[in-house]
Structure 1
Amino acid sequence: MKFCISIIALLLTTAAFAQSVPGSTAADSAQVAGIVFNGVVRDASFAAGEKLNVEILESGEAIQTVVGEPFRAILPEDTLWNVCVTNSDTAGAEKEKCYELVYTGSERSFSQTLGEAFAAPDSANVASSDSADATPGDSTSASQKPDSAVANADPSGSSASPEKDVDVDALLAAGSNEKVTELKKVVVQLRKRPKRKPGESVVSAKSIKRMPGLAEADVIKSIQALPGVVASSDFSSKIYVRGGAADQNLFLFDNAVVYSPVHFFGLFSTFLVEGIDDVQFYKSGFPAQYGNRLSSVLKMDGRAGGQDTVEEWFSKSSVKISTFAAQLHTEGHKGDARWVIAGRTTYIGFMLDLMNTIGLLDLALDYEFTDLQGTFMYNFTEDTRLKFSFYVGKDRLSFDPLYMDWGNVAIPVNISHRINGDWDYNATLAYSQFYQTMKVGDLMSIDMYLYTFAGKQWVNYRGIDNHTFTAGYELEYDYERYQEQMSSMKIADIQKPFHHVAYVQDSWKMNPDWLLQYGLRFNYQTAAEHFGVEPRASLTVNLDETKTLEVYGGYYLQYLNSIVYTDQETLNEFYYPATTTTKGKHIEPASSWLIAAEYTQRDLFKDYDATVGVYYKTQNNLNTFQAVLDSNEETASKDFVVADGFGTAEGYSFGYELSLRKNKGWWFGGVNWSQGISVLRTNDGTKPYFPSWHQPYALKMDLGINWKGDEDAIWKHEKKGRYLRSSLALKYSAGMPISEYKGYYYRKEIGSQEYSDKITVLPGSRNAGRQTDYFRIDVKAIDVGREGKWNFSWTIINLTDHDNMFYSFYDTSKNPPEKTEITQFPFLPIMLNYEYYF
């Protein structure tokens, strides 16, 4: 398929006019902060009368329209816009066409028709004049401009388009002033992935950058702000979704798995925002294409660098300096190649020393990390694309007596090829590595190395009306070496499982308002010799223009789980595959049944979107570690595997979520409330308990204010592209579960008639108590800059200096024992960030 020649034919009819739409005047247009864009979609790619979404990428504005009917949008004051048209705003959006336009006129409004009339090359100049009509593709025009096609419109508004519509002609009625619009590039995308699927939340890179954070935009923190997602503490960027554990979340970077993507102290997420597109997040009900996790999928795609209209080795670069880290990024575009590279390092140890000196903190910490991330994309033809990406991260922490170092590597290579209008083929080869070492003085050390080699391929078929069929096969090989040494006991275990996966899926648009997505995922894992089938289904119903109901459910299997040693949160996960014990017992994969539903109403009270969600899911065969082996001979045996010490746990979770958001206007933001129950029970005969990530209720709020800017601001900025904003994030939630202490006693040594001075604290029921409620307000007081040029922000963390409990223990060196509490982030008023683009 030829993106710009064979498949699409584009007619742009542009004309000046005094009255751009019925009832609007030139004076009205002049009062609008931007350029008034009036258009109509006439394109055979979309069915007559089909509902469409038109999105202005620069402003994020989305307009709902219908094929053949006029629409109106306000464009930011610039000479370049990207206008994308899709055939649905939910899971039916299989087709998208994007137009990149440069407007060189001087008027405050213009109009154009997007339609299918003639084959247009990659670039075209479209001018309106008082001359006679010119036939599209006219040989005279072609000889004058061999690389462009020209269409002229007369003052009456008649055009070369074969279609006529009274309302459209009135909309495009020409005036006396000349308008010139240059079509720089047309991109047609027959989407392999809809803009939004059932169960999926899309978080834009722009919204991530606008959220208050610890001086830097944070991908994971943006996900933690969603309802139903729990962040256990300030010191971790782990996520817990709808009652599931942290290891039940699948992180994908261009289809390569990234294990435990966390940096210490909750300051930074692993991924650099400059190098990614929007983030797709399934917090339940993900389709058959994704698996080996129970709770969620967070999918990030490496961004194509450079600009469509500029071919430069360094078309855009940036430097960012914040309180705790520095970051560089560059990107370019030459011919059929595009790339982006970003890197980051920290100097947090030096800054903590400074804060200790001035009395802001009392924390000595030896910690450092580095990140390197990039994407290279090459179009062999307009139908075949190669995408190579990489992420490399390394951390080191020394906090006496604790020492840790860990790191991630992810290197995916993706190939996509459109066979014809009905078929496309996709393949991924990926290498992932995760390693970590943890030592506690001379008492204990744990080493884990996990290497994953994965090959994935799938095809999409659209040859049957209203259906999109997907079929794929994946082969994953994991090599894991786990070593633990504690006192005289040493464990060394190597696992090498193969995991075969095949899946089929169909998206069936039953009618314009009903979409059914259903599929099966088949698994065979060699170490556990386990075969499993996972049915998945979801139904999306557009009740009317503004109301949508989604129902989804299915069965999920997870063959790679984290070993749970304690209820206290660990910094990283210690992954271990389902396998077979030395006694021949097959360890079953963890599993979950899920049923969930969401109701969404857009344009509630004009500018608000509201969502209500409910869910119920089971959790089965969760691995727990039971230290029941103390035989040195047995544990030192080369046949011994960690799974010999496994126990299992069963559980369930259910809850509901409420969300209300406003994304337009001089102020924007949202509020969400979630309430749920999560319960586990181990197979050792003890009573049920709340897992350490159980959070019965949580209230999250965010608010942004555009004080000054080009548009949607309280005050109009006199300089183009300038802005002054502020934002706020608030969280109030239940404290996390803890095991309270009942009391203490003096131990009597065996064989002695006297009590020693050694004190033992007597714990209560497991996780029967709770920490005090959590409350924190973060404020990005100043967010000022120029779009695409520079930005300075000042963020205050924990504005009210609220003491949020992290951990408590009894100091048994004192008599009586003294209860000590460790709190989370204090008041941090010096989170600064400056970034400059050049």
Structure 2
Amino acid sequence: MKHSLLSLFLFFFSDLPAWAQKPVNRSTVSGYVREKGSQEALIGVNIYLPGTSTGTVTNTYGFYSLTLLAEDSVTLAFSFVGYESVQQTVAFRRNLDLNIQLTPGRLLSEVTVTGNRTGEEKVSESARMSTIDVPINQIKKIPAFLGEKDVLKVLQLMPGVQKGSEGSTGIYVRGGGPDQNLVIMDDAVVYNANHLFGFFSVFNGDALKSVELIKGGFPARYGGRLSSVIEMNMKEGNKEKLHGEGGIGLIASRLTLEGPLTKKKSGAGSSSFLVSARRTYLDLLARPLIRAESKGEAMAGYFFYDLNAKVNYDFGRKDKVYLSGYFGRDKFFARETPKEELATKTNAGLLWGNGTGTLRWNHLFSEKLFSNASLIFSNYTFKISADEESSRRSTTGVETDLYQLRYTSGIRDFSVKYDLDYYPNPKHSVRFGIQSTHHTFTPSAVVLKDTEAEQFREEVDAIRVLESGVYAEDTWKPTDRWRVNAGFRLSHFQHKAVSYIRPEPRLSAAFVLKPDFSFKASYALMNQYVHLLSNTGIGLPTDLWVPTTDRIKPQQSEQIAAGFAKDFTKAGSLFRGLTLTVEGYYKTMKNIINYREGASFLLIDNPESANQVRWEDNVTAGKGWSYGGEFLLQKKVGRFSGWLGYTLSWTQWQFPELNSGKTFFPRYDRRHDLSVVGIYELSPRISLSGTWVYGTGNALTVPLAEYSANPHQPSRTLYNFLFSRPVNDYGEKNSFRAEPYHRLDFGIQFHKKKRRHERTWEFSFYNLYNRRNPFFYNLETKSGNAPGQPSTTVLKRYSVFPIVPSFSYNFKF
């Protein structure tokens, strides 16, 4: 038995099974790949033996390891889109530490559109599917709403990703809701990724190094969400010189500074920092107008700001430490102090924001074993405040009545995470690790003080739970034709009243039918133990995060996907540089939750007991299905680059207590979704970009008819006629389909490189041909045109964004 187990182990982690092996000498080359000039670690660099399929890629921290037959010399190639490729011949009789610096290629980096690897790391040769890498340079070139470059809005242009309302950053991946996206930045979860009530995201592209979206076939290292993983990594900071960039736009400005903290350029003892800040000035622009119309001292406005910061220290080849964080706030406020002595003073506001912090330690145990330990903090808070102070005269003089309301909801996490990357040989790349998170949910915390009514209430509803997971996964090349990523995750959730332990198998595989063409398939089972209560589904700050309890079960999904991938690499071909992926998927979702009809997020009613969990009474659980096909044609390099993406999909939900238990389409179900994106380098100084999008209209619940009724007088009497009220008949839920959505955006950038800095003027137009896309519908009554002609009720469409021009000034030094 022991020998059988040993043989099986060696079969999976050796080039040959144990019985067929002959003694061979092997050596391992390992090291870090960084950018020349900044020493920034490069993620996903392709390292390979030229002319063979043997190779690997760098991990999140720029580390690679490759075990080969020991020879007198070996030639290794290092390639990365946007950088000049490097080939290096080295003596290879023993283990080798080889660090490489890649030089940025200005022309290549300016025409990169999608993906961040060269043709050698072909889409057709990777086991992974349903994955998109988004280079930051791409985000900065695509025309944006009001000039604010946005990571999430670029992701909305990808197949399989639906947008929310007009102008919003809502992400709906393969039929899932915004709560089913795991959004992480430097290992920390970001729970609400929206500014300005969903019109902008919290991510400042100047501070980011990489962005990756995973829609299916999830590697086992990810867990806790059903529909997607959006992983972002912040820059480390320039280790050689002070560098800065920023921009001034219509509604916000930003500035990023990075540089070394010590004089040593690289290696042991080197360190660097990054600080990036952004703030809008809508409140400053509106303040003079508000004061001019007020009879007293008044102020109202809205602003948001972001702050990203990171420092790192290099202790040598084996140890590195990173400390990073994000802090952002949105604030809407209104206060007024009338000039009259006996008057009412008011002060109200909304405040919401995220805070994250991550401390990471990289340690290299050997040339084949890399580890990372992380301590992670994440906090999201939403607050409502309302103060009213009224003065009145009484027999004893002037008395003051005070009314105060403080409402708070949020979620706070403390996490511990440990990951290991093991590279036994070129055919295997193994990852395994563990993570545990302590959640503190506050669905409702209320402080109410009313001196006139002699009332005071203070209620805090805090729920503490523990969520953990352990995983192992292996990227395996059993033959020249097969690529496999197999993994297993065991998730655990502990609430005071319930405990869950659930297995989550994962599998992705690719079979190379012929060079540059492969068939792929994947399966993933996911569990989600946190839920988002939303009336709108667009990620407003009023949405509540709540945990699984003994009354609310975990969400669960199963997804299968299959498709083809094709790389066009033949020299001289008209299609050279293009990649094509076609995928179909089917996903089921269980125990998804939604508000009951008429329920609200503001849970301030008196509970029957202090320990009652009130939010559970306002929700209902159901199930859903989503299936469809996706088409993506990309061109990664060249003066003209871009992509064409199309999605055909169906999503349906069913809740026993909604729509009489019948299935219905959720609001953001879209049958057809099409995106066309193009970037053209007219010259080194001028670049043009444009996007055109089309989508089937949202599924909405709108009034179908209106009639008069009096519930207290069922008979047709004069009283009933005089005191009846209008009642709307809505029919089935989301049975109305809005008009199709489409628009064209256009942008032009003028670049100029001066002696000590670069500057870019950008002019863009959102909705260039002024399409009046529907934002919402409402019933309105129109009077007759002539005396005696009856009035009519019509369904009216409202739009919010016509053509919107914008400009910005960007600089680097």
TM range (shorter): 0.7 to 0.9
Whole-Å separation in 2 of the counterparts to 1:505 and 1:121: 26
Q: CA deviation at 1:699?
A: 0.9
Whole-Å separation in 2 of the counterparts to 1:566 and 1:797: 24
Tell me, yes or no, if the aligned pair for 2:128 and 2:509 is still in contact at 8 Å: no
Q: CA deviation at 1:739?
A: 1.0
- Equivalent residue for 2:545? 575
Distance 1:578 1:380, change over 3 A: same
Whole-Å separation in 1 of the counterparts to 2:582 and 2:127: 17
Q: Describe the SS at the equivalent of 1:705.
A: strand
Among 321, 325, 338, the residue aligned to 2:252: 325
Distance 1:69 1:672, change over 3 A: closer
- Equivalent residue for 1:6? none
Q: Describe the SS at the equivalent of 1:753.
A: helix
Whole-Å separation in 1 of the counterparts to 2:359 and 2:55: 28
1:476-491 matches, cutoff 5 A: 476-483=437-444
Q: Within the alignment, does 1:833 sit opposite 2:764 as a pair?
A: no
1:397-546 matches, cutoff 5 A: 397=332, 404-437=350-383, 447-463=408-424, 466-483=427-444, 493-527=461-495, 528-546=498-516
Q: CA deviation at 1:365?
A: 8.9
Q: CA deviation at 1:676?
A: 0.1
Tell me, yes or no, if the aligned pair for 2:45 and 2:57 is still in contact at 8 Å: no
- Equivalent residue for 1:619? 589
Distance 1:63 1:373, change over 3 A: closer
1:275-354 matches, cutoff 5 A: 275-307=207-239, 311-312=240-241, 315-333=242-260, 334=262, 335=264, 336-349=270-283
Q: CA deviation at 1:460?
A: 2.3
- Equivalent residue for 2:700? 738
Tell me, yes or no, if the aligned pair for 1:445 and 1:486 is still in contact at 8 Å: yes
Q: Which has the higher contact order (CA 8 A, sep 6+)?
A: 2
Among 737, 744, 756, the residue aligned to 2:723: 756
Whole-Å separation in 1 of the counterparts to 2:439 and 2:619: 20
Tell me, yes or no, if the aligned pair for 1:432 and 1:451 is still in contact at 8 Å: yes
Distance 1:802 1:632, change over 3 A: closer
Whole-Å separation in 2 of the counterparts to 1:520 and 1:816: 62
Whole-Å separation in 1 of the counterparts to 2:695 and 2:595: 30
What's the CA shift string for 1:174-212, capped at 9, x where partnerless? xxxxxxxxxxxxxxxxx9xx9994432111111111111
Distance 1:425 1:484, change over 3 A: closer
Tell me, yes or no, if the aligned pair for 2:193 and 2:202 is still in contact at 8 Å: yes
Distance 1:783 1:687, change over 3 A: farther
Tell me, yes or no, if the aligned pair for 1:262 and 1:572 is still in contact at 8 Å: no
Amino acid at match of 2:798: I
CA root-mean-square deviation: 4.2
- Equivalent residue for 2:315? 380
Whole-Å separation in 1 of the counterparts to 2:322 and 2:77: 21
Distance 1:573 1:348, change over 3 A: same
Tell me, yes or no, if the aligned pair for 2:511 and 2:520 is still in contact at 8 Å: yes
Tell me, yes or no, if the aligned pair for 1:516 and 1:537 is still in contact at 8 Å: yes
Whole-Å separation in 1 of the counterparts to 2:459 and 2:736: 34
- Equivalent residue for 1:601? 566
Q: CA deviation at 1:817?
A: 5.5
Q: CA deviation at 1:264?
A: 1.8
Whole-Å separation in 2 of the counterparts to 1:199 and 1:566: 27
Distance 1:396 1:472, change over 3 A: same
What's the CA shift string for 1:10-29, capped at 9, x where partnerless? xxxxxxxxxxxxxxxxxxxx
Whole-Å separation in 1 of the counterparts to 2:98 and 2:486: 39
Q: Describe the SS at the equivalent of 2:201.
A: coil
- Equivalent residue for 2:647? 674
Q: CA deviation at 1:454?
A: 0.5
Tell me, yes or no, if the aligned pair for 1:557 and 1:592 is still in contact at 8 Å: yes
Tell me, yes or no, if the aligned pair for 1:341 and 1:373 is still in contact at 8 Å: yes
Tell me, yes or no, if the aligned pair for 1:237 and 1:263 is still in contact at 8 Å: no
Amino acid at match of 2:247: K
Whole-Å separation in 2 of the counterparts to 1:482 and 1:353: 34
Tell me, yes or no, if the aligned pair for 2:319 and 2:363 is still in contact at 8 Å: yes
Distance 1:786 1:44, change over 3 A: farther
Distance 1:352 1:419, change over 3 A: same
Q: CA deviation at 1:276?
A: 1.3
Q: Describe the SS at the equivalent of 1:497.
A: strand
Amino acid at match of 1:735: G
Amino acid at match of 2:702: E
Tell me, yes or no, if the aligned pair for 2:159 and 2:632 is still in contact at 8 Å: yes
Q: CA deviation at 1:332?
A: 0.6
Q: Within the alignment, does 1:204 sit opposite 2:167 as a pair?
A: no
Contiguous gaps of at least 5 residues in structure 2: 1-25, 67-75, 102-120, 265-269, 291-298, 336-346, 388-402, 449-454, 570-574, 714-718, 784-790
Whole-Å separation in 2 of the counterparts to 1:631 and 1:251: 30
TM-score (norm 2): 0.74
What's the CA shift string for 1:564-590, capped at 9, x where partnerless? 44578745631111012xxxx4x2100
Q: Describe the SS at the equivalent of 2:769.
A: coil
- Equivalent residue for 2:173? 241
Whole-Å separation in 2 of the counterparts to 1:90 and 1:472: 15
Q: Within the alignment, does 1:232 sit opposite 2:164 as a pair?
A: yes
Whole-Å separation in 1 of the counterparts to 2:362 and 2:133: 23
Whole-Å separation in 1 of the counterparts to 2:416 and 2:803: 47
Amino acid at match of 1:325: A
Whole-Å separation in 2 of the counterparts to 1:550 and 1:123: 33
- Equivalent residue for 2:88? 114
What's the CA shift string for 1:749-798, capped at 9, x where partnerless? 52553442632222121001111110111100334333972211111111
Q: CA deviation at 1:395?
A: 0.5
Distance 1:520 1:750, change over 3 A: same
Tell me, yes or no, if the aligned pair for 2:302 and 2:330 is still in contact at 8 Å: yes
Q: Describe the SS at the equivalent of 1:510.
A: coil
- Equivalent residue for 1:778? 745
Tell me, yes or no, if the aligned pair for 2:178 and 2:539 is still in contact at 8 Å: no
Among 505, 510, 517, the residue aligned to 1:547: 517
Whole-Å separation in 2 of the counterparts to 1:726 and 1:695: 30
- Equivalent residue for 2:682? 707
Amino acid at match of 1:589: P
Q: CA deviation at 1:464?
A: 5.6
Tell me, yes or no, if the aligned pair for 2:408 and 2:446 is still in contact at 8 Å: no
Among 49, 52, 63, the residue aligned to 1:67: 49
Tell me, yes or no, if the aligned pair for 2:699 and 2:735 is still in contact at 8 Å: yes
Q: Describe the SS at the equivalent of 1:237.
A: coil
Q: How many residues align?
A: 667
What's the CA shift string for 1:447-502, capped at 9, x where partnerless? 31211001011222223662223221111001111227899999853210011211
Distance 1:456 1:596, change over 3 A: same
Whole-Å separation in 1 of the counterparts to 2:560 and 2:592: 19
Tell me, yes or no, if the aligned pair for 2:358 and 2:374 is still in contact at 8 Å: yes
Distance 1:665 1:453, change over 3 A: same
Whole-Å separation in 2 of the counterparts to 1:220 and 1:354: 33
Amino acid at match of 1:418: L
- Equivalent residue for 1:719? none
Amino acid at match of 1:424: F
Q: Describe the SS at the equivalent of 2:720.
A: coil
Among 316, 320, 325, the residue aligned to 1:390: 325
Distance 1:633 1:826, change over 3 A: closer
Amino acid at match of 2:276: A
Whole-Å separation in 2 of the counterparts to 1:823 and 1:374: 39
Q: CA deviation at 1:631?
A: 13
- Equivalent residue for 1:163? none
Give identity over the alignment, percent: 23
Q: CA deviation at 1:416?
A: 1.3
Q: CA deviation at 1:300?
A: 0.6
TM-score (norm 1): 0.72
